Structure 1
Amino acid sequence: MSGHGFHVHGPHDHAVEHAAHGSDTFSNNIAVMTAVLATVGAMFGYQGGATQNDAALFKNNAAIEKTKAANSWNYYQAKSNKQNLAELAMVLPGVDPEKYKTDVARYKAEKDDIRKEAEALDKKADEWNHQSDTKMHQHHQWALATTAEQIAISLAAITLLTRKKWLMMGAYAVAAVGILLGVFAWLHIDPIGALLGAGAVAAH
């Protein structure tokens, strides 16, 4: 509520503000690192939101194509029923088979076109689903990268308060992991999948 003279700071905000007014090199370095990590984390968060939106959009496209495919298959089934009735009529006593032969041939041709259309729509739906799954997996990678940067910022804030160098090393390590995860997400690399794939190959 800054408009009323009251504002709530995050726990690391106090530490950074304190370091900014001091002349301690150690504290200043941590403060700069915190600012950099906050910027990197914000970028990762934006990418995570963007990929999640893309995943939802692609999933919606898949649902639309799947509905079109279902309608085509229903139409295909209706043509099959008409063809079956025409074939049945051909063998009824007292009926001229030639009268229905043309209808049977027409229904067969129409069914082929409808089937091809339905299969193409099914394929499109599968492609959209695949793209959606890929984007959602990428979103999870961005989310992990963002979380790592947030943890690193928290460790940096604790480091400013406790002045423990091992905490600073921990903050650097977690930040590096987060950046690495961000690079993997940017390059569309799945390190876990790659390791599992390599393990499966080695097992054979």
Structure 2
Amino acid sequence: MSGHGFHVHGPHDHAVEHAAHSSDKFSGNIAVTTAILATIGAMFGYQGGATQNDAALFKNNAAIAKTEAANRWNYYQAKSNKQNLAELAMTLPNVDPEKYKADVARYKSEKEGIKKEAEEWEAKSAEWDKKSDAALHQHHQWALATTAEQIAISLAAITLLTSRRWLQGATYVVAAGGIALGLFAWLHVDPIGTLLAKFGGAAAGH
């Protein structure tokens, strides 16, 4: 504590402080381990934040594309109304149908182009939505990996305080699990989702 306030120490800080006052090789190894895990956790946390931002950006792009598609469909409907009115006028008595035939052909041609644009914008919107969902899922994977590393660091701190060898093993196991989750996120691999889909499909088959 200082005269300017207080500082809350994290598990890694306690590990380093403990190792600094101890010549025990066991304590030194744990301190180095926590430093490495803190670095890995920080990297995972950064990737998690980046993918979350990507997901939000992609979702915004999907909304913009959806709005553009809606605008095109509204324009398409307006052309359809004009075409319908022209076709109706052709059936009225004492009206020359040829006068409106060109208008009907023009509206029909314009509608085709507008429809194509609307469908293209809808496809873009669906594509951005898909990218957003993928980025958000990857964010969750990075978040799980980060959480695992934080738990491993906490276990390392408890290991230093208790000198329990089995806790050291637990620390390494949890840390390895977090690193594996980080690798899965980096490689865009979802083993859990794959297993669930596989067992879900097998269950549906029965």
Length-normalised TM-score, structure 2: 0.94
- Contact 1:44–1:182 at 8 Å: present in 2 too? yes
Counterpart secondary structure, 2:153: helix
CA deviations on 1:47-95 (whole Å, 9 max, x unpaired) are 0000001111111111111111000000000000000000000000111
Indicate the residue corresponding to 2:116 in structure 1.
Answer: 116
Counterpart mapping for 1:36-115 below 5 A: 36-115=36-115
Amino acid at match of 1:77: Q
Deviation at 1:199, TM superposition (A): 2.2
Q: Is the CA contact 1:16–1:157 (under 8 Å) kept in the aligned structure 2?
A: no
Q: Secondary structure at the match of 1:22?
A: coil
Q: Residue 45 of structure 2 contacts residue 146 of structure 2 at CA under 8 Å; is this kept in 1?
A: yes
Kept in 1: contact 2:11–2:153 (CA 8 A): no
C-alpha distance after superposition, 1:70-126 (max 9, x if no partner): 000000000000000000000001110110111000000000000000000000000
Assess if the C-alpha contact under 8 Å between 1:138 and 1:185 holds in 2. yes
Q: Give the superposition deviation at 1:198.
A: 2.6
Question: Runs (4+) of structure 1 moved beyond 3 Å?
Answer: 200-204
CA-atom RMSD, angstroms? 1.6
Q: C-alpha displacement at 1:173, in angstroms?
A: 0.9
Percentage identity across aligned positions? 77
Contact 2:12 2:38 survives alignment (8 Å): no
Q: Which amino acid aligns with 1:38?
A: A
* Alignment check: 8 A CA contact 1:156 1:171 kept: yes
1:8 shift after superposition: 2.9
CA distance in 2, matches of 1:66, 1:40: 39
